[in-house]
Structure 1
Amino acid sequence: MIAYIKGQLAFILDESIIVDVGGIGYEIVCPNPFIYQNSLQKELFIFTYHHVREDNQTLYGFKDEEEKYLFTKLISVSGIGPRSAVAILGNADVNEFITAIEQEDEKYLTKFPGVGKKTARQIILDLKGKLTAVFSMEETTTTVSPTSSAHISEAKEALKALGYTDKEINHVMSQLKKENITETDELIRKALALFVKN
C-alpha cells in the first residue's frame, strides 16, 4: 500500500495531478486537483490510497488524513466505488456531510453525483455514529502547525517499518505533537527515546 507520495508537482489535469518522484511521474486522482495550483513545480506531500483491481491500479490523493479516512469509509459502503467517493469529496464540506449522515438527511446526500435514495440510505446505515468520534478526536489532538503534518506522517511510516504498531506510534506521537517538532529525523529520534522510556 502506498500511504503517501512526496515529490515535485509536474502537472495538474482535470481529475488528477502528476507528481515527479525521482524521474517517475505518478498520476494521482484527486477530489479537487486545482487546490494544488500554488504548488506547481514545487515539492508536494500528498496522502494516497492505492486501489488495486485485477485490470487496473489507481492512486487516489488527499490533502490530509481526515479526507483520506472519509474516502476509505465511503468506499466501504455498498454501491460506492472509488470514483464516486472522489466525486462526493470534491463537492462536499466534510463537517456538513458528516452532520447529514448523523441527522439522516437523505435529501442532502442525494445531491452528490451517483448517490440515489438507496445509496443515501446505505451511507446512513453503514456510517452513522462511526465518523463523529474520530473527527472530533483529530481536531482536539492536532496541535502542530500544518507545515509539520507531513513530517509526522513520514515519521509514522518510518516507525511502522521498524516494527512498531499503530497503537504504540499514536501513543508517542500524541506526546510529541505538543512539542511542535517539524523535522522528521528529530521526530523519529524522540519517538524511539519514548519507546525505550515506556
Structure 2
Amino acid sequence: MIASLHGTVVHVEDDALVIDVGGVGYAVAASPGLTRAAVVGTDIFVHTMMIVREDSLSLFAFDDRDELKAFSLLLGVSGVGPKSALGVLSHLTVPQIAQAIEADDDAAFRRVSGIGPKTAKLIVVQLAGKLVAPTTVTGQSVTAKTDVSAQVIAALVGLGWSERVADEAVSRVVNFDAAATSSTVSSLLRTTLAQLGPARKEMADG
C-alpha cells in the first residue's frame, strides 16, 4: 500500500501529476486545486490512496489527511466512484462538504458532474455525523467569506497561490482568531502571508 509520496513534480495536467520519487515516476490523479498549486521541478508531499481493480491500479493524491478521509468516506457511498469523489473535492473544500452534510444540503453535491439527485441525497444521509463542520460564532460559520476575506483571497491568487490554497489559508486564520473577520484587508493579508510563507519556503527547499 502506498500511503504517501515525497518527491519532485515532473509533469502537471488538469487532473493529474507525475511525481519522481527516487527515479521512479508515479502518476497520480489529483484535484484541480492540488494540480494548480504544483510546480514542475519543485518538491511536493502528498497523501495517497491506492485503488486496485481487476484491470487497473490507480493512485489518488491529496493535500492533507482531511481530504484523504473525505475521499475515503465518499467512496463508501453507493454510486460514488473515485472520479466522482475527486469531483466533489474539486468543487468543495472538506469544511464545505461537512457543512453541506450537516445542513442536509444535497444541492451542493448535485452540482458535481456525474452525481445525480439520488446519489447526492445518499451522500448527505450516509455521511451524517462522519465529518465535523467548523464551529460557529453567533450563529454564523467562522469560515463564512466576508468581503474582507474575499478580497484577501483574490489578492493571494494574484500573488500566485491557487484559489483553494488561498481560501483554506484565510479560513485557518479566521478559525484561529474570529476577530480576524473584522480585520482590514491589509491586516488579514499580512497575517495570512505570514502563515503561507514558511509553508511555501519548506516546499521549495524540500
1:150-175 deviations in Å (ceiling 9; x for gaps):
xxxxxxxxxxxxxxxxxxxxxxxxxx
Deviation at 1:27, TM superposition (A): 0.3
TM-score, length of structure 2 as denominator length:
0.62
SS of structure 2 residue aligned to 1:40: coil
- Name the counterpart of 1:36: 37
User: How big is the shift at 1:36?
Assistant: 2.8
| Residue 61 of structure 1, CA deviation | 0.2
**Greater RCO, CA 8 A, separation 6+:** 2
Q: Say yes or no: does 1:116 pair with 2:136.
A: no
Q: Which residue identity is paired with 1:62?
A: F
Query: Which string of whole-angstrom CA distances, capped at 9 and with x for unpartnered residues, describes residues 46-97 of structure 1?
Result: 1100011111000000011111110000001000001110111011122222
One-letter code aligned to 1:106? D
Distance in 1 (alpha carbons) for counterparts of 2:23 and 2:108:
43
Q: What is the CA deviation profile of residues 3-57 of structure 1, one whole-angstrom value per residue up to 9, with x for unaligned ones?
A: 10011111101210000112111001001243333x4202211110001111100
For these two proteins, the number of residue pairs brought into alignment is 141
Q: Secondary structure at the match of 1:132?
A: coil
Matched with 1:70 is 70
SS at match of 1:77: coil
Could you tell which deviates more after superposition, 67-76 or 111-120?
A: 111-120
Equivalent residue number for residue 79 of structure 1: 79
Instruction: Name the % identity.
Output: 34
Matches within 5 A, 1:49-198: 49-132=49-132
Any conservation in 1 of the 2:106–2:123 contact (CA below 8 Å)?
no
Unmatched segments (≥5 aa) in structure 2:
136-171, 176-194, 200-206
Q: CA separation in 1, counterparts of 2:14 and 2:93?
A: 20
What is the DSSP-based 3-state SS (H/G/I as helix, E as strand, rest coil) of the residue aligned with 1:124? Answer: helix
Q: Distance in 1 between matches of 2:42 and 2:3?
A: 20
> Can you give the 5+ residue segments of structure 1 that lack an aligned partner in the other structure?
149-198
Letter in 1 for 2:55: D
Give how far 1:104 is off: 0.9
CA distance in 2, matches of 1:115, 1:130: 20
